[in-house]
């Protein structure tokens, strides 16, 4: 992951998403689709740097957070606004899909 994507885990997740707008990808290192989503997220992180933060949570390293949000497969992207879920998207989608969700939240 590039430097614009912030890795989070069980210890700092709640604090990170508490205030502001975040795109959080729930991924697994072994998941091919998760790796395919990475360049799209890097593009989103660069394009929306002033508006949102992109976070990444490895579901195998933080299973408690994955269970809390009902993550049963990866990747899943959840948009948070001030600690609350704004949108949830499963699988890999074109960049325009994520941009539409971001624009609607902003």
Place of tokens 């394009």: 47
pLDDT for residue 1? 56
Q: Could you list the residue range(s) of the whole structural domain that residue 71 is in?
A: 5-105
What's the pTM value of the predicted model, to 2 decimals? 0.93
| pLDDT digit string, tens, across residues 21-73 | 999 999 999 999 999 999 999 999 999 999 999 999 999 999 999 999 999 99
Confidence band of 2 (pLDDT split at 50, 70, 90): low
**Tell me, what CATH number does 84's domain have?**
3.40.30.10
Domains held by the chain: number: 1
Three-state SS annotation for 35-54 = HHHHHHHHHHHHHCCCCCEE
The answer, yes or no, to whether residue 74 has pLDDT greater than 90, is yes
């Amino acid at each position: 992951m590039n430097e614009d994507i912030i890795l989070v885990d069980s210890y700092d997740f709640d604090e990170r998403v508490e205030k502001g707008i975040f795109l959080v990808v729930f991924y697994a290192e072994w998941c091919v689709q998760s790796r395919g989503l990475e360049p799209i997220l890097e593009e989103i992180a660069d394009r929306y740097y002033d508006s949102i933060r992109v976070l990444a949570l490895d579901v195998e390293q933080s299973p408690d957070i994955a269970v809390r949000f009902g993550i049963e497969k990866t990747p899943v992207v959840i948009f948070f606004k001030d600690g609350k879920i704004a949108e949830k998207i499963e699988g890999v989608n074109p960049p325009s899909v994520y941009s539409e969700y971001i624009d609607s939240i902003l």
